[in-house]
Structure 1
């Protein structure tokens, strides 16, 4: 096992009994599950991004809009056994108008696939992360038995997130359905101990993995002992935790997997999202970002040293922006030096005015007293005035009251 807590203090939620005696969750439990899964994938503790993610039992794909906004994800597989529900919710997978207006920095491919969670197919190779929320309780025993073989034996993802109902919470859901469960398609509902036993058995069978447990949907204050309404297991491969792998990762399908070379998931829909291809060199990206920040800082009073008549911008101002480019302070300094941007100690030194910035020109250089017009600096006659892009006054009929001057 390993210890895990959601970053930034976890979720802010509440649970209460309404006037009719029903239990209510705020936000709804399904939102808490989705948000928790996304925050686990985004957690910086892993030290890396997950590029290829599969969402098993995706149903109407309500998790997808959140998944596709997780930085680093470039390939999402939405998998469900119900072809009709995939087709009827296909619009959720299509790019929005905003995706074309504000293009992604990285590629993203989304595929809707009809298939079972226990089928070891080629489309599942090289998956980094598995999300399987509220699906295992819907599986028949044989399918459930094959799930660990497929995921931890065949796929071997870096991380896998499972959730399932906590049956101890059912005392607050009386009466239950005729099958004794919360949903008419549930084949079982486990206590916390049963879920933990299942997860720990997986880690014994596949020793490259360790597991941590969470829950979403808190019980009311006077029922805390029953745990959360939904329980979560996070399986992390040891190399993701900075530990040595017990066994080498397999490059071939293990014999105990439910695999068939001729079996593939049925593709219902696939789409590639628009994205920008940035062909700038790393040095050019650093320079462009530095110049943008320099221009911004020249308009911030606290950086201006009035005694010296210059802006002194701390190099630390650039840290966050440069890190997003995967660059170091040393690389930044080299780029600044190569482009004649002055650095003294821990500060970038900027002149009070940028000669290329028209907003900083002195009024004395820009105002023509004779004609009463603003003009480019250095133009002192009619010919120069026209050449510099100023206003020609060859027509004596032009006045300030002329409609043409209200520009």
Structure 2
């Protein structure tokens, strides 16, 4: 779905949402219900593009009954694990079902705050002004590759997990080094091991859990125990964050039985030779960097929001009036960045935004009447 961009000199929108992924769409649902004049700006050519462009065999860890956004159940049988294309299809259908105003092919190149307190977003297709802005670009922004990548022989193929689609991208038969042992790294290593030797370099070893426990899917137990809703400010949440992400369904011990070679942290590359923290080496024919992502807020020209590379916020609310974030990992709880759980944060944030807009309206000296924006709480 696409909508024409407002001109920069027209009356500002109530809200501009940067990103039309799961977080932005969930917020859009709540904004529409509250009558806001809003627009979702997305860099992709279609809703769901970021999911559709991931590796071919990717499936969600969470069963379909845990993958719904507000107001529209995920269209798959309970207990099944949707593919990445099914997720992309669902997000596109969600935008269409609720007639959400999405502007595609519109990455925000610059966001700044105007002298009147509103915001202007600059995109390749025009400028958008809004009284409030929500950054919903998600945790997967810029693929991270260690600096030692430059020491790899130029004829050795390499790619980040963000660019991996299937084993045909890499030379057949040669040894592949997968750097990283979180979910992406182990899943890719398992797929590659069917056709070639694989070595996995393990930096920090995450906690590994099976997909099913005592005959029930792991997500049943995690949801029942309140794992996904532990408030981010609590002591137990801080302990969970320190342990890193869970690896679900792919066990390193099972991969060892299949012949995958596990090594300690990668410390150096010299031509085709990889060096590891335990002093061992191995010659490789290709490298897959499953080394995660880093946030990119270089386009955000609003002082005081990003400090030392991290967003300064409380439950998505920044110190800059009218500027918010949604879909950040641990924004309010463990589920904040997950497809089936971001809706709760979206609802809470939309209520907070309406209350903030109401206070701004009152401070400006306005009173309720026929011209009162529908977005404001009644």
TM-score by length of 2: 0.25
Structure having the higher helix fraction is 1
* Greater RCO (CA < 8 Å, at least 6 residues apart): 2
TM-score by length of 1: 0.23
